[in-house]
Structures are given as structure tokens and as C-alpha cells.
Structure 1
């Protein structure tokens, strides 16, 4: 039974840890069926996972990103797809809190509301009386199957021909889902395509994306809260890294679970744990996980600290936030790859968890926002005094 009031970070991490047996039990099902199991969604809701970025006035917890990191890391130990989906819900839920307060009243009237979303402007919006009409589609919409709302981005072309990206909220009942999520990694996230056909969105549920990216938010009641006065991209970065930490830890746990019963075939090592190459592999992987955790902690510390003080973000800090996220992804993948390679031929069987872990963490590294090379280059450009070349910073 859940305690009353707002739970502490330690309490939320404990709840996440208690879900590990159930989530692990459904991990293969999610991988095979390309979506999170309903029972897993219900368990996450019961644990309060979907309330972590909801304002307190709606019964939410208003958690900082350090808490998101630690909770997602626990979930990631069980199943990368489940942790990723929870993390994705946290970001559009936070973005919902940027809209006018009456819009939040509508969205958060649903208990344990789940909001999926995207930052890709792959649809068009035409202005009409009272709002806009949107047509188009969005790919990679993680968690769409279990969502109530979707945060969308579209290009609005005004009568004078000027184009501007907008961010809006749409009930899932207004969208079509295309079941096209056939992938090698993060299969359980159900990151399908959603489609809008002549969907009307009232003006109060539309915000200009450039204003959002510059930190100009429409909510009055959230303006004083530390977690809602931080730029979008650093928030998204800090909200995402926990899954990678959890997957890297899961790879290490999975490797050591099998280690006592393994030998190295076609060698004189009857126990893999006696081989010097194994010592080098586990040490290198462990150190990479430690390094990934450093970057994750630095990132969440920066986001949470500046949210509390209300200090302005420098361009270098924004770029470093994305660079830290990229470093977590790169180091976590390198650690998982080492451990997966050391797991031998028997690890390719689908009942052995490390093969799924390796696929999932590889998929995270391919995500456009999380790609290590993209984020490192961005940081380097800014350090060299160049323009970042993107609004997503």
C-alpha cells in the first residue's frame, strides 16, 4: 500500500525496485509483442511512476531529475523498454505543464494520465477560427498504445506565408495509430507512428515552439516551481539517461549471474572467472559504467540546481547538458558491448537477457537526440565559439 503525501526519492526508488520481478517477467512478452504488457503499465501506475512530473495541485510529486534518473535506472535493470517508456512519458508530461493552466486542468483530470510525444515537426498546421487544423504523421511515438494524449509538433503556415513550428496537445482518440514498430531494439516500447487527418486543435492547446525552446512558458501556476522553469532540451536530456544507466547495470548483473557456470570453450580455462581476459573485460566495463554514472549525475545536478536558483543558462551549459547525455549513452553501450561479447555464443539465445539488453542500449544510441557523436560535436562547436546550428539546445 502506498504511503500518503509526496513520497521521497528513496521511497520512489524502493517502489521501482519492488517492480523488478514483475517487469522482468514481462520483458520477453513485451519484446515479442512490441508493446508494454498491460500489467506492467498498471504496476507502474500503482507505484506512482506516472505522477512524478505532474504538478502537486493535481496530486503529482513534482520530482526533480535526480529522482527520475534513479527510478529509471531501477526500471532499466528490469527491462529497457519499460524504463524508456516511463522516461518518455515524463518528458511530454512535463511539457504539458508549460501550457496554460486551464489546459492542464483538462489533461490532468485523468488519473495517472499518460502523455506521449515527439519533437519532430513532421506535420502541417493550418490556422482556422479558434485554433489550427493539423494533418500529418509522427514516427517513433513511444508508449502510444497506452497514452491518453500526445504532444505533437507541426509547421504552421500563416496566411502571409510565414512558417513557424508549433507544439500542441491532442487526445489520442483524435489520432490514428499505425502498427509499424518492427525493430531490432527497444521493441517493447511500441514506438509506433501516429497520424492526424484534419484534426482541429483549439488555440489554448497550441504554443509556438520557438518560445518554448527559449523558456517562455504559458503556465502561471507553475512559474515558481523549480522543475518547470528549466529549458526543454536540458530537461529532456536529464529525463532520458536513467534508462541507459539501468541497462548498463543490467548487463553487468546478467553477466555475473551466468559467470560461475561458464567456461571458455576450446581453451584450458574450465572457469571463465579464472581467465585474465575476463578480469580485463569486467574491470573495463565496470569503469565505463562508473563514468556513465558520473555524467548522468552531473547532468541532473546541473538541471536541478539551476531550477532551484533560477539562474539563466549559458549556451555552453546547454550544450554540455546534451554532451553529458551523449556520454552516458556512449559509455553505457560500450560497457554493455564488452559484457555481451564476453558472454559467448550461448548468449545469443533469446532466453538469455543480455542479448536483449545489448539490442536495447544500441537502439538508444541511435536516437537522434541521444546520439553520442551528434551531441559531442554540438558541444565542441560551442566550445570553439561557433553557433550551435540547431534550435534544439
Structure 2
């Protein structure tokens, strides 16, 4: 076993032991609309926030398939905690695309939590040595507990042209609103962040071209094979959250159903009913199919990166389409189990209802919504342009 594999296994085993605690903390996480400090501290101790940090800064720099496995396991315990962890981990990888000086600042402690507002709803004005940043970003997941945040903004350049740029800003220079109040993924703290007249030095600002790590600009791209296509990498780290939530729902359903009577019928054990058996198998197989699909796109993503090659348009479109299918199929699997559950499932003390609401809420994410993702994939299969830059 390589050192990387040993490190990944150690983190995974530590996270697996935390699943009952993360699940038990779910109700309070929802009430707070943000992760419990205990959740963050336990994941910190497990090494989760080092898994995408470059080795030279004391990080584990794990490959994407090992990152995905860890994120799925966190999500099996708590969907909100899994989603926030995904954002912090994937944005830490993004920070590894910035100039060395920025990386030295961001990764100074090895373990780091970085959130991001990637809709360009801010403006940047060039000044000597950097930019002045202003703007407001909605749905900024994880910003209440992050140390740094990426802000997408439009800069007006001296020649009058405009460019989309991405600024790394310490969160102590950001104002975070108390406006996250939703029915699902309630603990993600995806609040609105605002920046007013903040100076961002040039070394903490990059353009769209640098964000595609498949150009090989990442500091250790040749050595470690981490120069992933940006969108494909983000999609590959998002999907495990849906998979983890679906696995939790199946696990929770199976724990409760044996010996449970079907009210107002003569059935004294729901597990003996053929309809229950068929529907459980249907849900389990959808989840297993999602797991199989994810293993394939993770293999393709890593193989291309290891060989120093870019993904083809067909491969990128397939990853987007298949992730969209996973979002749809995991949601359907959880709904199938919900539809054969008893009325007590709606109690707040029942962890299943949280998984049901979390997967429903997260299925509406703009980049991950099944229709748009499947459309892009289908267009490419039909010999057309994908119709989106986000592949």
C-alpha cells in the first residue's frame, strides 16, 4: 500500500467512526442553520481538511477518487456536513491553482477551509498592486466557518474590455448575512456574503484560463497527476454527497422496517410485503448503479490526468450527464423509500426525513440539475456542440 493509500484509508476510517455522531447532530445542525462546532472539530481531527492540500504544505493531496470516497462517507452521516465539506475540500484544490505566494498564505497551516461564490456578481477595479473588490454573493456555502473565500467578479480593464476574475479573500474581510433559512440542506450555512472596497493583491487573483488545471499550470501537475479539468473535478466531488445521502436513507429505512406493521391492514411485518421487497430492491439498485457510474468517471478523470492528457469533449459531456443522472437517480431512490415509509417518518427525530429533504433541495443546484446536465450530454451524443461552457 502506498503512503497516499494509507493516508486516505486512515482518514476514511476516522470519518466512518464519526457517522453516528454526525447523524445524531443533524437535528441541531438544522436548528442552527449551520454545522455544529463539534462536527468541524471532529472532521479537522480526522484530517478531512488536508485531503486536497498540496504535500509541500503538509497536506495529503489525495487523488479525486479517494476524496470522493471520504466525502460520500461524511454525507452518509449528515448531508449538510457532507455538502460543506465538499465545498471546503474542492475549493482548497482550486486554491492550488493560484500563484505560489497565494498558496503559501492560504495553506500556511496545512489544513484549510475555503468557500466560494462562483457567480460573478461582484466587480473588481484594477489599482496599483492589485484590485478593489466589491460585490454580494448569494448561496455562499460554508462561508460562516471558512478561513478564505473565492469571489468571482467582473473586472473592467484599462482598455475598456471586461474579464471574469477570481479573488481569494480572507473571511475576516467579508460580511456574512444571517439569511439562510431553507427546508433542505438547512445546515450548510449557504448565506449571502458581501465585500466592500476590499483590496486584493494581484497574486491572489486569477483568470478563467488558470482555473483549468488541465493546462498543467498547477505546481505539481507533472509529479502527482492532479491537473484535473475544473468542471469535471467539481462534478466528481459533488456527486458523492448525493450518493452518501442515498446510502444513509437506505440504511435508515432497513433499520426500521423489520417487524413494523402496516397500519390498518393485516400485515404485521412490512418486510414480508412483496411491494416493500420490490421497492427496496429498486431503490438499492439505483444507488448501486450510481456507485458504478461514479467509479467509471473517476477512473477516466484520473487516467487522463496521470497521462498528462486533457479530457475529450465527449468525456467531459459524459461526466456532466452521468453526474446529472446520479442526482436524479439518488433522489428517486430516496423518494421510493419515503413512499413506502410509515407516517412516523415525518417526525423531526427520524433521521430519514432529513435525508429526504436534503437530497430534494440539493437536486436543484444549478450546475447539477439533471435536465441541464443530461441535455449537454445528449447534445454531444447527437453530434452537436454541448450548448454550455460548463463541462
Query: TM-score of the superposition, structure 1-length normalised?
Result: 0.95
Q: Does 2:130 correspond to 1:103?
A: no
Aligned residue in 1 for 2:76: 77
SS of structure 1 residue aligned to 2:266: coil
Q: Is the 8 A contact 1:100 1:218 kept in 2?
A: no
For these two proteins, the number of residue pairs brought into alignment is 389
Q: Is the 8 A contact 2:53 2:110 kept in 1?
A: no
SS of structure 2 residue aligned to 1:197: strand
Q: Does 2:136 correspond to 1:137?
A: yes
SS of structure 2 residue aligned to 1:57: helix
Query: TM-score of the superposition, structure 2-length normalised?
Result: 0.96
Q: Is the 8 A contact 2:214 2:305 kept in 1?
A: no
**1:119-268 paired onto structure 2 within 5 Å:** 119-213=118-212, 215-216=214-215, 218-219=217-218, 221-268=219-266
C-alpha displacement at 1:211, in angstroms?
4.3
Structure 1's 136 and 193: CA in aligned 2 closer, same or farther, altered over 3 A?
same
Q: Does 2:53 correspond to 1:59?
A: no
Q: Is the 8 A contact 2:228 2:305 kept in 1?
A: yes
Aligned residue in 2 for 1:42: 41
Structure 1's 62 and 189: CA in aligned 2 closer, same or farther, altered over 3 A?
same
SS of structure 1 residue aligned to 2:221: coil
Equivalent-residue separation in structure 2 for 1:54 and 1:380 (angstroms): 35
Equivalent-residue separation in structure 2 for 1:132 and 1:169 (angstroms): 11
The range that moved more, 308-317 or 42-51, is 308-317
Q: Is the 8 A contact 2:154 2:162 kept in 1?
A: yes
C-alpha displacement at 1:374, in angstroms?
0.9
Give ranges in structure 2 of 5+ residues lacking alignment: none
The structure 2 residue matched to 1:330, chosen from 328, 331, 335, is: 328
Equivalent-residue separation in structure 1 for 2:220 and 2:179 (angstroms): 37
Aligned residue in 1 for 2:275: 277
C-alpha displacement at 1:262, in angstroms?
1.7
Give CA deviations for 1:96-119 in whole Å, capped at 9, x if unaligned: 000011110011113421101132
Q: Is the 8 A contact 1:213 1:392 kept in 2?
A: no
Equivalent-residue separation in structure 1 for 2:217 and 2:200 (angstroms): 17
**1:360-379 paired onto structure 2 within 5 Å:** 360-379=358-377
Give CA deviations for 1:308-360 in whole Å, capped at 9, x if unaligned: 11122111111111112112111111111111111121111111111100110
Give ranges in structure 1 of 5+ residues lacking alignment: none
C-alpha displacement at 1:389, in angstroms?
2.6
Equivalent-residue separation in structure 1 for 2:382 and 2:126 (angstroms): 41
Q: Is the 8 A contact 2:7 2:60 kept in 1?
A: no
Aligned residue in 2 for 1:309: 307
Q: Is the 8 A contact 1:123 1:155 kept in 2?
A: yes
C-alpha displacement at 1:218, in angstroms?
4.9
Q: Is the 8 A contact 1:327 1:372 kept in 2?
A: yes
